[in-house]
Each structure stands twice: as structure tokens, then as C-alpha cells.
Amino acid sequence: RPQPPRRLNVPQKGVESNKLRLHWTAGGDGSSPVRYFTLQTLELPDGEWKTHTSSIGHNNTSWEVDR
């Protein structure tokens, strides 16, 4: 089973008023190749999980999110 991405970070230069850019390192594939990533966010403190996209390609290591 594939492992989740590691070292998720948002560099300060990737933050703008209406969007931000996430960066990560791919986790191990666990002998089962990753086909895509799903990006979800949770607005704190009482928000619900929101799926932004379910189709981030397996070769991607960054993604821009509109806020």
C-alpha cells in the first residue's frame, strides 16, 4: 500500500492573498504504484474536510490551491 506524501510545506513565498502553493516529498510506493494524489483541506477550528482535487498526477511534488 502506498504511503502518504511526506514533508508537506508551504514556503512563505508561496502564500498570496487568494492562493498558496504546497510542496511535498512523495512517500514510498509500498510495491503498489501511486496513480494520483487527492488534496483535501480542513478549516480550523470547526470546519469540514473539503476535497479540492482528486487528480493530482503521481509525478507532481507541488500544487497551487485557491483559497
Per the rule left: phi > 0, alpha: psi between -120 and 50, beta: everything else, 44 is beta
Write the CB contacts of 10 (distance below 8 Å, at least 6 apart in sequence).
20, 21, 22, 23
Residue 67: pLDDT above 80?
A: no
pLDDT tens-place string over residues 48-57? 999 988 889 8
* Bridge partner list, 15: 20
pLDDT tens-place string over residues 6-18? 999 999 999 999 9
pLDDT the model gives residue 17: 92
